Amino acid sequence: MKLFVCAVALCLVAVSFCADKKPGESCTKDDKCTLESECKRTDSYCPEMKCHCKENKVAENKKCVDAEKPKVMYDGICAKTEDCYTGLECTDKKCKCPAAKKNYIEITMTCTDKILFGKNCKDTACEGNNMECKDTKCVCKVGFKAKNDKDKICSEIDYAGLDGDCDKKTCNPMMGLECTGTGTPKKCTCPKDTEAKEVYYMSDKVKKCLTANATVNVGKDEECMATYDKDGKYCKKDLKCQKCPGSDDLKCREGEKDTSGVGQMTFSMSVVLGCVALRKFFM
């Protein structure tokens, strides 16, 4: 009788946990993803998994088909201009900017005949509206800055932070600051009903103007608010306020480096637990 019960449990669990799944369908670690797909998390912060097509393949009508060959980016090897990304030409077997627009802007993946950030300027204008030629160099205008080393066009607004001068700069609206004071220069401060508190925003620790109703350092799987307003609920470091498929709840979720679902219950363990449960039921 015990052997019969275990056999029934094995069959039931096998049917439940080991189904064949097609690309794009939900799956578990023990399911078999078919048609050149594999079971992976859809998001590193959510436990749900789907059958994803392997490299150089895309899902189409629950099948994995060859992805369109990607265009070669700047300085990549090419055989003809058609191989290159839009605006580039194949020159000496490499994708380069055309002679008329020889300067490449990596952050926008475009070519220009204007001068880029940090380069010498004189007769030729600096690229875009956020730079100016000063002391024979293209530099960011007041109120703008380079996002990173690849940013050669000063694409980011240079907001003034808490207690920063706001005569020429704008106070950072994401931090809830406002430009106040009657002196010179004016300063960025918190509104009267708020005070500056440290929170994590995009993994960075910042000071934001919050009311007494706001909550900081919200823990894992606890309710949060993604609007980042003055009454918000802010997650601890390394947690992200996010919804997951099948749920309307915003919670502070922890990201997983391994998206393969190794942490899920394995098929063999499911069989054992199912067998034990059924044995106890019938005994």
Segment 69-116, tens digit of pLDDT = 889 999 999 999 999 999 999 999 999 999 999 999 999 999 999 999
Residue with tokens 């020159």: 91
Q: Write down the pLDDT at residue 75.
A: 96
Q: Write down the pLDDT at residue 18.
A: 59
Q: How confident is the model at residue 201 (pLDDT cuts 50, 70, 90)?
A: confident
Q: Write down the pLDDT at residue 225.
A: 87
Q: Write down the pLDDT at residue 84.
A: 97
Write out the H or E segment, with its range, that includes residue 64.
Answer: strand 63-66
Query: CA nearest 188: which of 173, 174, 178, 196?
Result: 178
Q: How confident is the model at residue 263 (pLDDT cuts 50, 70, 90)?
A: very low
Q: What is the pTM of this model?
A: 0.62
Residue 170 has pLDDT above 60, yes or no: yes
Separation between Cα atoms, residue 235 and residue 199, nearest integer Å: 8
Kindly tell me the sign of the dihedral angle through the C-alpha atoms of 252, 258, 259, 265. Answer: negative
- How many alpha carbons lie under 13 Å from residue 159 in its C-beta half-sphere? 13
Q: Write down the pLDDT at residue 68.
A: 85
Residue 130 has pLDDT above 90, yes or no: yes
Point out the least confidently predicted range of 111-115, 177-181, 230-234, 278-282.
278-282
Measured CA angle at 28 (ends 218, 226), to 5 deg: 25
Separation between Cα atoms, residue 224 and residue 233, nearest integer Å: 5
Residue 254 has pLDDT above 60, yes or no: yes
Query: CA nearest 278: which of 5, 1, 19, 55?
Result: 5
Separation between Cα atoms, residue 114 and residue 225, nearest integer Å: 44
Residue 151 has pLDDT above 90, yes or no: yes
Q: Write down the pLDDT at residue 259.
A: 55
Quote the mean pLDDT of the chain.
84
Q: Write down the pLDDT at residue 58.
A: 87
Chain-centroid distance of CA 108 in Å reads: 18
| pLDDT tens-place string over residues 222-242 | 999 877 789 999 999 989 998
Residues 6+ apart with CB under 8 A from 129: none
